[in-house]
Amino acid sequence: MSLRVNLIKEPEQRSGSSLNAKSITRIASIVMPVALALLIAQQALSSFMLSSQLSILESQWFAVEPKQKQAIKQTARLNFNKKTLEELDGWPAARLDWNQNLAAIMQAVPDTIQLTSLRVILEAPPANARPAVGSLSRDYQLSLDGVTRVPDSMQVVQALEANLRRHPILHPLIETVTVANFAADDASDDKSSRVFTIQCKFKSPPHKEMR
């Protein structure tokens, strides 16, 4: 236990340290407002710079925005035109010489058969069966409707089917030949009259590479 009985008066007592509560308070009373003012000034300057940058970027955007919209439109148009071009390119690739094919059909049809209808259906292949990008293909299907009035009409129709399959011109083109319909002719009084439908599926022509 200290026995010191201190007779000094409070105003006389000094710490002797260059750093005491009083000096810290004095320094802080100067430094803190200055630091605060500097901080506020720095924030204000930063805000001003950001604001000016924003206005510059906005003016640049206003200049660019119409061009960007125009570019989007032109891109869409370009894509549409490309598709159209592809479609148009597909046509010559899928073209068949129908003058030869029709002459071959004419030769394959027996004399006892009267064709009532010849239809050629051009179909695009289904989406999941499309060839690789850059190539085009068209599928042709030939449908022949006819009437025969002979007693052995069934054999005649089968002969037509066989002729179509074996014809030297048609043979390389045709993939399948099927008799889709063979029935009595309701429209005729002749009981031996029969109507039939033969469907020929053409092979897909060779794919053409896109430009």
Residues making contact with another protein (CB under 8 A): 1-9, 12-17, 20-21, 24
CB of 20: closest distance to another protein in angstroms?
Answer: 7
Q: Which is nearer to another protein, 24 or 57 (CB)?
A: 24
CB of 10: closest distance to another protein in angstroms?
Answer: 11
Q: Which is nearer to another protein, 23 or 107 (CB)?
A: 23
CA distances from 178 to 38, 157, 175, 205 (A): 94, 11, 10, 20
CB of 42: closest distance to another protein in angstroms?
Answer: 30
Q: Which is nearer to another protein, 15 or 51 (CB)?
A: 15
Asked if residue 178 lies in contact with residue 155, where contact means CB atoms within 8 angstroms, the answer is no
Q: Which is nearer to another protein, 27 or 57 (CB)?
A: 27
SS3 50: helix
CB of 22: closest distance to another protein in angstroms?
Answer: 10
CB of 18: closest distance to another protein in angstroms?
Answer: 8
CB of 8: closest distance to another protein in angstroms?
Answer: 4
SS3 102: helix
Asked if residue 179 lies in contact with residue 154, where contact means CB atoms within 8 angstroms, the answer is no
Complete DSSP assignment for 141-186: EEEEEEEE-STTHHHHHHHHHHHHHH-TTTTTTEEEEEEEEEEE-T
Q: Which is nearer to another protein, 1 or 127 (CB)?
A: 1
Asked if residue 103 lies in contact with residue 168, where contact means CB atoms within 8 angstroms, the answer is no
Question: Which tokens belong to 87?
Answer: 């479609």
Q: Which is nearer to another protein, 20 or 100 (CB)?
A: 20
52, 54, 59, 65 alpha-carbon torsion, rounded to 10°: 170
